[in-house]
Amino acid sequence: MIKVYEDGSSFYLDNKDFLLTNIHTEVFFRFDAPLLKKANKDEYALKVYNDKSRLVALLKEPFNILLYGDSSLAGELIDFLINNQYKIKGYLAPTELGEAFMAELGKRNIKSHLDLGMDFMEARVKLLPSSEEVEVAKEDDVDEILNMAVSFFNDCGLSDEVTKEKILKAIDGFRIIREDGKIVSMAKMSASSSEDMRISFVYTRNEYRGKGYAKKICTNIVNEIIDKGFYATLNVDKKNPISNHIYSSIGFKKTFSQGVFLIDEK
């Protein structure tokens, strides 16, 4: 059975308890759902369900389709989308579900591929002491951080929009290291759920890599987060073994995997 929602807010309220079975994927639905004011075939909120299982899908442009739930229902969801001429585009999902969705698309002659595979990691204890080299960013650092953020997105192949206003709004969450009179490494912490805080924007200028700066900054942030009564979380590219090693060395452990899957051009 398929339930079609009129807007994102009604979708989220109806599925909140189900989505909260994984608080780390729930956050994407929580942020996107209120933006969907009136659903249509280009932007939608759906639930596929039976007596035992549920699979939900939320699409709010310009973001990817968000998928969560039972992978055995992927084929039924895709048939509904195709038969009713709903938009099908890139999607974000836990790895097992994303791969099942990709396989079912393939059966219907729609090819897709895993564009970015990520391990979700968390740290709940402090393993290393904080470093005095790490500073809290100030408003005067906004332009430098913005330039580094643009480089970060380019290096990761991400199309996310980053603006000076967004950086300024989050400036209190950035931690930095300076060398030679400039910021050479940075990372950001931000609220995620009632239990965790997320680390993102981990970036070191090319010419300053290999000096352990990212490890020092992330260690300080982990220690700060734990002192605040939360645990630390982050996503790491599965193709980057160096980052995986750094995060593991400061107490992060993998909890699940997820991925961004893109539709192949015809």
- Count other C-beta atoms under 10 Å from residue 55's C-beta: 25
Reduced to 3 states (helix: H, G, I; strand: E, B; else coil), residue 173 is helix
Asked if 219 and 250 touch (Cβ cutoff 8 Å), the reply is: yes
Show Cβ contacts of residue 143 under 8 Å, excluding neighbours closer than 6 positions: 164
Separation CA 150–CA 17 (nearest Å): 36
pLDDT at 266: 66
pLDDT at 67: 98
pLDDT at 153: 81
pLDDT at 241: 67
pLDDT at 159: 60
Q: What average pLDDT values come out for the chain (266 residues) when binned by 10 residues?
A: 98 97 93 97 98 97 96 98 97 97 97 93 95 97 95 73 90 97 96 91 93 96 97 88 84 94 88
Instruction: Look up the pTM and report it.
Output: 0.81
Dihedral sign (CA 84, 88, 91, 93) = positive
Strand-pairing partners, residue 149, are none
180: left (phi over 0), alpha (psi -120 to 50) or beta: left
Helices marked H in the chain: 8-19, 23-32, 74-83, 95-107, 142-156, 164-169, 213-227, 241-249
- Count other C-beta atoms under 10 Å from residue 228's C-beta: 12
pLDDT at 194: 86
